[in-house]
Structure 1
């Protein structure tokens, strides 16, 4: 799947589910539950035990229905490993030019973490197509909105501290999507096999983002 197709799917869905610490045997049922709630893109974090096997299982079982990415990719070796495992896109908490170049060489989407205008512009000069605003909860909705003044037109995905209470506001402020971890993929629900909790939360997050996303202006009637 080419970068453009992945970007459009992420933008259309509006939510990237973050699977951090989810056991290998639970990733497929967790992903199925998220899919049932309307989620179409997820990432397995690189610091999750068995993350590579989780990516392989997700691609094998849901690869035709969901976008499977890898997150918390902090070095070149990890970037290569997750791509070899089948990750269709890569997210990082920082902006590492070597990781960006490696992922671009594989013609995959890289979403590096940025927090300042300088990092944002550096990422743009490296040819990055989408940016991860991190930690978004600490920086706040107003910060994202004010970035849109001098740096309009950017595809920014707030991650870190995103919950149901601020998802709509981030969408209203111009977010291309949001990345959601524990507020969506509840670890206690996964541990107890209550996957319906994930489905309910997924539907709520998807609805909140859709509600907040600016709608295109209507065409004038004849």
Structure 2
């Protein structure tokens, strides 16, 4: 089942690369560089330009080799459009049962955001496999560790402010994986088409997360 293949890909590398606001022409070159650096899970947020074209382009380039997710999915319509474009999974910055249901109807992986114990329980009742902890920088690794105290089976993915300086601490606290945006998708590297350096950044993030496990 595709859902479990995505979960496995996230588990294997420990890093979801998040592209927000990329120019359409940069989407595939960035994905190529990330893939070269070991990334196998790539999220394109729905508030990016031509997001659905971007999803189609990356899937056409990589097929099943790169799992592509639609991020910032905040309503069922966005979910359906993203999945129709070929998204393998969806993520949200909030907790919305209607969006979860829409994605589950298509038998795809949905990763909603949680910040409280009550949301963790509600997510499990709705059959959610992975949970996004957002905003991670404000909550911190200690909060993730405390949240996993009563919910030791919760697969939490911190997102928001995750960088090389704290990704290892999140991993050590018990994170299932980490979502990394601007600190990996460096604007200077993309603007300069310094793809080898972007690939090396990806390697650093994967290594840092694995070292913290």
Output the TM-score relative to the length of structure 1.
0.94
Deviation at 1:188, TM superposition (A): 2.4
1:68-87 CA-to-partner distances (Å, cap 9, x unmatched) read: 11100011110011000000
2:116 is equivalent to residue 116 of structure 1: yes
2:179 is equivalent to residue 202 of structure 1: no
For the residue of structure 1 that corresponds to 2:65, the secondary structure is coil
Query: Which residue does the alignment assign to 1:179?
Result: 179
For the residue of structure 2 that corresponds to 1:62, the secondary structure is helix
The 5 Å alignment of 1:17-32 reads: 17-32=17-32
Query: Which residue does the alignment assign to 1:81?
Result: 81
The 5 Å alignment of 1:12-161 reads: 12-161=12-161
For the residue of structure 2 that corresponds to 1:104, the secondary structure is helix
Provide the rounded CA distance (Å) in 2 between the counterparts of 1:102 and 1:154. Answer: 22
Q: Segments of 4+ in structure 1 off by > 2 A? A: none
Provide the rounded CA distance (Å) in 2 between the counterparts of 1:94 and 1:101. Answer: 14
Query: Computing the radius of gyration over CA atoms, which structure comes out larger, 1 or 2?
Result: 1
For the residue of structure 2 that corresponds to 1:201, the secondary structure is helix
Provide the rounded CA distance (Å) in 2 between the counterparts of 1:197 and 1:75. Answer: 36
Structure 2, gaps ≥5 residues long: none
2:189 is equivalent to residue 189 of structure 1: yes
Provide the rounded CA distance (Å) in 1 between the counterparts of 2:187 and 2:75. Answer: 27
1:87-145 CA-to-partner distances (Å, cap 9, x unmatched) read: 00100001110100010010000000111111111111111010000001100000001
Provide the rounded CA distance (Å) in 1 between the counterparts of 2:87 and 2:22. Answer: 17
Provide the rounded CA distance (Å) in 2 between the counterparts of 1:138 and 1:197. Answer: 29
Provide the rounded CA distance (Å) in 2 between the counterparts of 1:18 and 1:185. Answer: 8
2:165 is equivalent to residue 165 of structure 1: yes
- Contact (CA 8 Å) 1:22, 1:187: kept in 2 or not? no
Provide the rounded CA distance (Å) in 1 between the counterparts of 2:98 and 2:131. Answer: 16
Deviation at 1:12, TM superposition (A): 1.1
Provide the rounded CA distance (Å) in 2 between the counterparts of 1:179 and 1:63. Answer: 21
Deviation at 1:63, TM superposition (A): 2.1
Output the TM-score relative to the length of structure 2.
0.98
Provide the rounded CA distance (Å) in 1 between the counterparts of 2:63 and 2:166. Answer: 30
Provide the rounded CA distance (Å) in 1 between the counterparts of 2:58 and 2:117. Answer: 35
1:159-218 CA-to-partner distances (Å, cap 9, x unmatched) read: 0010001111111111110000000011222122112221111000000011111xxxxx
Task: Number of aligned residue pairs: give it.
Answer: 213
Comparing both structures, which one devotes a greater share of its residues to helix? Answer: 2
